[in-house]
Amino acid sequence: MSSEKFITSRKALITLIAASIVVIISLGIRQTFGLFFFDFNIDLDISISHFGFVLGLQLLLWGVFSPLFGIITDKYGGAIAIFIGFAFYLMAILLFYSGLNTGHYFTLTIGVLIGVGLGSTAIGIPVSVVAKHFPASNRTIATGIVTCAGSFGYFVSPLLVRYSLIESGWENTLIYFSLFLGLGLIVALFVSTPKIPVGVDENNKQTATEALKEAFGNKSFIYLTLGFFVCGWHIALVATHIPKYMMDKGLPDWTAAMILALIGVFNMLGTISSGYLSTRYSKKKILSAIYLLRGVSIIYFIFLPPSVFNSVVFGVTFGFLWLSTVPPTNGIVGHIFGTKYMGMLYGIVFVSHQIGSFLGAYLGGIFYEIHGNFDYAWYVSIALSIFAGVIHLPIIEKAIERTQPA
């Protein structure tokens, strides 16, 4: 463990706190959309395949816009990028509340606009900005704290939203969302991006285009990108379809909210543990272990008889592994390529994550409509766990040595 001082400046501390609040709001709200399905199905006539497609599109656009917001972050700062994202997020909720919420409008508001908003407000950009404030020895711990904050949002939001849906209805719940998103607009202004990121070689004159060419020519970057696809599939499948899955298994309707809340609680432990371990051990081996253990958790959940106890075990184990992939993934990007273009490069890796998310959410709904259950979606998830466990092992965790011009 490094003996370096963890908080190196006041700006680093303020940015760490602000970025944590940003992801609590953004990811907390995002995590609860699956709980709205039954209301949207009854009141707005939204089918499960349409619902899965829209949430999948939301996740896909989150990924597509992440590198674009990464470029904005690297050039103009995280505050501007995150503020723009929250503006899109808030616009979507207000338009949906105003009545633009059925058919194509449902796709536009919940799918497109929120997807764009997540591109900068969710985990990728806040993590990349925080990473610029910390040296390599402490970077994965700092990014783990931000990810952990998102986990707190995961924990508290499902409980509050389920209560609000029962007591106030989905319309008033959206009003509460808009208030939190308004707060996010203010907090975004405190996410400061250092002019010279910690650990950046000031003599490095590499352009963004050169950085992209370098990354795509690096096999380790490709392996990391392919592996992150699996993370997206797993997360989207569970977050989107677990309420319907639990209902089909004849369990009480509160078990879905319980699983999502447990995921939030234990994800906090998982991300902090992952961030700490990534400072001491091989990041690629940590990632390989996480993905393989996810497969074990899914096997336990779907093949044992459905019960509240087994649901708790799944929520605890899958929660511990939920976003624990983020600190080592982000850490590998920063370690190999440096932090100068961290926002852009991590954003590209995240595109793969969100392609997986789109397919997990959308195909989960398609499998259900074809087969009447989610079995095949779970089988694919297990196979992908094995794939991800293997694909990370060839990664070479070594910083690129660039030849400086004479």
Per-residue pLDDT tens digits for 270-293: 888 888 888 888 999 999 999 999
Which pLDDT score is estimated for 64?
A: 87
> For residue 17, what pLDDT band results from cuts at 50, 70 and 90?
very high
DSSP one-letter code for 305: P
Which pLDDT score is estimated for 305?
A: 93
Structure tokens at 44: 């707005």
For 343-386, what is each residue's pLDDT tens digit? 678 878 888 988 998 899 889 989 998 998 999 999 999 999 99
d(CA 337, CA 333): 6
Which pLDDT score is estimated for 379?
A: 96
- Average pLDDT, rounded, for the chain: 88
d(CA 370, CA 362): 13
| Superfamily (CATH) of domain 10-196+208-391 | MFS general substrate transporter like domains (1.20.1250.20)
Structure tokens at 238: 């569970």
Query: Which of the given ranges, 57-66, 101-110, 273-282, has the highest pLDDT on average?
Result: 101-110
Which pLDDT score is estimated for 156?
A: 86
* Averaged pLDDT, 101-127: 92
> For residue 2, what pLDDT band results from cuts at 50, 70 and 90?
very low
Which pLDDT score is estimated for 196?
A: 64
CB atoms closer than 10 angstroms to residue 248: 14
For 146-193, what is each residue's pLDDT tens digit? 878 887 887 888 889 989 999 999 999 999 999 999 999 999 999 988
Structure tokens at 118: 């997540």
Give how far the C-alpha of residue 347 lies from the chain's centroid of Cα atoms, to the nearest Å: 11
* Cβ-proximal residues to 148 (8 Å cutoff; 6+ apart), any chain: 20, 267, 268, 271, 272
Of 109-113, 154-158, 242-246, 290-294, least confident by mean pLDDT is 154-158
Cα-only R_g, the chain: 20
Structure tokens at 116: 């764009």
* Averaged pLDDT, 123-131: 85
Which pLDDT score is estimated for 197?
A: 62
d(CA 395, CA 167): 50
Which pLDDT score is estimated for 214?
A: 87
Place of tokens 């940015």: 15
Which pLDDT score is estimated for 112?
A: 96
* Averaged pLDDT, 63-77: 85
Which pLDDT score is estimated for 1?
A: 43
CA distances from 198 to 345, 385, 398 (A): 17, 34, 18
What is the percent of the chain with per-residue pLDDT over 90, rounded to a whole number?
Answer: 50
> For residue 337, what pLDDT band results from cuts at 50, 70 and 90?
confident
**Domain range summary for the chain, segments of one domain joined by +:** 10-196+208-391
Helices marked H in 168-252 = 169-188, 208-216, 219-248
Which pLDDT score is estimated for 341?
A: 75
- Is the model's pTM score more than 0.85? no
CB atoms closer than 10 angstroms to residue 100: 15
Burial degree of 360 (CB within 10 A; 0-12, 13-18, 19+)? buried
d(CA 62, CA 289): 26
Structure tokens at 61: 């656009």
CA distances from 266 to 79, 270, 311, 318, 321 (A): 29, 6, 14, 8, 8
326-337 vs 208-216: helix crossing angle, rounded to 10: 110
For 315-327, what is each residue's pLDDT tens digit? 999 999 988 898 8
> For residue 11, what pLDDT band results from cuts at 50, 70 and 90?
confident
d(CA 54, CA 48): 10
> For residue 200, what pLDDT band results from cuts at 50, 70 and 90?
low
Q: Is the pLDDT of residue 398 over 70?
A: yes
Q: Is the pLDDT of residue 81 over 50?
A: yes
> For residue 226, what pLDDT band results from cuts at 50, 70 and 90?
very high
